Structure 1
Amino acid sequence: MSTYVTKMFDRVDRIVYDRYGSNNNQITEWVMDQNPGIELCGILLPLGITINLPDPPRAITAAPVLKQFFLWK
């Protein structure tokens, strides 16, 4: 587990991307669950908040790709 102290204009999704290499919504929500009350800070986090960034619970995978199909040709 690591911690991160916010800088000016930091966002949770950007911090998650820098730490885990992906800003998948599930990972962002998971980090927010690990830091109760952080959602009250808004999109741009205030300066000096300490965020816990635990090790991911499972391997981070890309979102599934949906196959495109056409109803009419």
Structure 2
Amino acid sequence: MQERIERAEEQIAYLTRMVEDLSDVVARQETEIARLTRRLGLLLEREAEREVDGGGTIPLADQRPPHW
């Protein structure tokens, strides 16, 4: 009986560690996604400004359809 309890405690400790490790990974990914999202937004704004400054119009993807 004692062996079963020890084995269960080992498994709980292992699973707890794994959950903590995965939580750390998710937290890092969340930070990275937020950073990349901000950078993408800045790049899209910069490109739109370049198109307008170059004599272009608002990029077609950013225009509302005429029926709106």
What TM-score, normalized to structure 1?
0.21
Structure with the bigger percentage of helix:
2
Q: Which has the higher contact order (CA 8 A, sep 6+)?
A: 1
Larger radius of gyration: 2
Structure with the bigger percentage of strand:
1
